[in-house]
Structure 1
Amino acid sequence: MATLPLTPDELLTTTRSVRKRLDLTRDVPLDLVRECLDVALQAPSGSNRQGWHWLVVTDAEKRAAIGDVYRRSVEAYVASPGYAGRLFSDDPGRAPVQERIGDSVAYLGEHLGEVPVLVIPCLTVRHLGAGNQAGLWGSLLPAAWSYMLAARARGLGTAWTTLHLAHEQEVATVLGLPDDVRQGVLIPTAYYTGDTFRPAPRLPLDEVLHVDGW
């Protein structure tokens, strides 16, 4: 499939987490998902191990089962102090955006099982360990982001979510995952409604930039 006419900067700045605008009624061809995954496999991995695996879930019953797990995770999140809809509630500049994000998270919690394709990047992990895991997950998460970029370039919407990991084993059981395969993220994938996306508001660079030290 031909890709959208986006510059590299446009692709990077308009690949958003899509929740309410996912088209739940339109099937996504598996060949299109495979194109995106072929791009993702070019991402870096530590020592070029490529220990990743990619679960693509299209079966309606399995999607519904994962959706039920996800709904319970979202309900717990919505009740927590860290819920996006409550963050920065006393900041007039950020509160409206956070409230919209919170609403969209709750919406996806109710409808994840209806999204036509769920992609779950996984990593073979012999020993998870208790130390810093940046190197471990750094061998998977860049590829997951590459998948999302490739999907955006092909007119698909995606969302980055890890809330289901509170019940990771339940999802592993639904999908029959081996004990040494761990899930890194859940990426609902669908065509989107509306026209396109804009860059999101972010903190000014100078508020988070540190040069040569803190």
Structure 2
Amino acid sequence: MNLNLSADEVLTTTRSVRKRLDFDRPVEPEIIHQALEIALQAPTGSNRQGWHWMIVTDPAKKKALADIYRSIAEPYFAMPKPEYREGDARGERMSAVSSSSQYLSDNLEKAPVFVIPCMWGRVEGQDTGAVASFYGSILPAAWSFMLALRERGLGSAWTTLHLPGDGEKRAAEVLGIPYEKVTQVALLPVAYTIGTDFKPAKRQPLETVLHHDTW
């Protein structure tokens, strides 16, 4: 299914989808491959194309990854939430975001497909420029993948809660990823969405984050 959305519509209505992921509808492998082919057109530092993409559909491996995710997510969810002044769009959405994040954590392994974007190499001990270049060579491609999913009636959520502490290493052991050589960047649960009527999110006004020539 192609939604025939304009570029602006895809860019402004691609959401982190959690409660509206359809866990019961299978996802065809060719759809994932189509979206990844589009992702590979993203910019990459020095044209190195050091990205790798781990697709996980095995139920036992999804469950193992979900358990790692939850072991880190639960303490994180219990932490005090940021406080925002009245009228701040971030504060207005805090309760809904917390609820949907908990829902995804509780049901993560039900997603038909996990996609884990990876980069060849590690960033430990490198300076800011090297780290920015490293992640800048995979994040645009991962976002392009999510945009391509949206155009095809699927959704995902950008999650990183399986990575802190020893989580990334434990996940690497589950999947056979060479931890010393490859960095996992995220875990994207992928499914068709329940409905496709997503709208632009409420954000802070541009003028509150805009700077010209000086901070």
TM bracket, shorter-chain basis:
over 0.9
Give the structure 2 partner of residue 48 of structure 1. 47
Q: Check the 8 A contact 2:88/2:204 in 1, yes or no.
A: no
Give the structure 1 partner of residue 5 of structure 2. 6
Distance 1:9 1:130, change over 3 A: same
In structure 1, C-alpha distance between the alignment counterparts of 2:51 and 2:2, rounded to whole Å:
25
Q: Which amino acid aligns with 1:17?
A: S
Structure 1 residue 197: Cα displacement = 0.3
Aligned with 2:63: secondary structure? helix
Give the structure 2 partner of residue 209 of structure 1. 210
Q: Check the 8 A contact 2:122/2:183 in 1, yes or no.
A: no
Aligned with 1:18: secondary structure? coil
Distance 1:195 1:53, change over 3 A: closer
In structure 1, C-alpha distance between the alignment counterparts of 2:194 and 2:161, rounded to whole Å:
24
Give the structure 1 partner of residue 61 of structure 2. 62
Cα deviations by residue, 1:59-100 (Å, 9 ceiling, x for unpaired): 11100110111111210110123xxxx333653554341110
> May I ask how many residue pairs the two structures share in their alignment?
209
Aligned with 2:162: secondary structure? helix
Q: Check the 8 A contact 1:88/1:98 in 2, yes or no.
A: no
Q: Which amino acid aligns with 2:69?
A: Y
Q: Check the 8 A contact 1:56/1:117 in 2, yes or no.
A: yes
Give the structure 2 partner of residue 15 of structure 1. 14
Give the structure 2 partner of residue 88 of structure 1. 83
The more displaced of 153-162 and 192-201 is 192-201
Cα deviations by residue, 1:29-61 (Å, 9 ceiling, x for unpaired): 011000000000000110000011000001111
Q: Which amino acid aligns with 2:169?
A: Q
Cα deviations by residue, 1:98-129 (Å, 9 ceiling, x for unpaired): 11001111111111111110000000105532
Q: Which amino acid aligns with 2:13?
A: T
Identical columns (%): 50
Q: Is 2:170 the partner of 1:170?
A: yes
Q: Check the 8 A contact 1:161/1:187 in 2, yes or no.
A: yes
Instruction: Kindly report structure 1 stretches of 4+ aligned residues shifted beyond 6 Å.
Output: none
- Residue from 113, 117, 120 that aligns with 1:117: 113
In structure 2, C-alpha distance between the alignment counterparts of 1:141 and 1:65, rounded to whole Å:
25
Cα deviations by residue, 1:163-201 (Å, 9 ceiling, x for unpaired): 111111111000000120110111110011134100000
Give the structure 1 partner of residue 154 of structure 2. 156
The runs of 5 or more residues in structure 1 that have no matched partner are: none
- State the TM-score, normalizing by the size of structure 1: 0.93
In structure 2, C-alpha distance between the alignment counterparts of 1:203 and 1:127, rounded to whole Å:
32
Q: Which amino acid aligns with 2:127?
A: G
In structure 2, C-alpha distance between the alignment counterparts of 1:98 and 1:10, rounded to whole Å:
24
Root mean square deviation of aligned Cα: 1.4
- State the TM-score, normalizing by the size of structure 2: 0.93
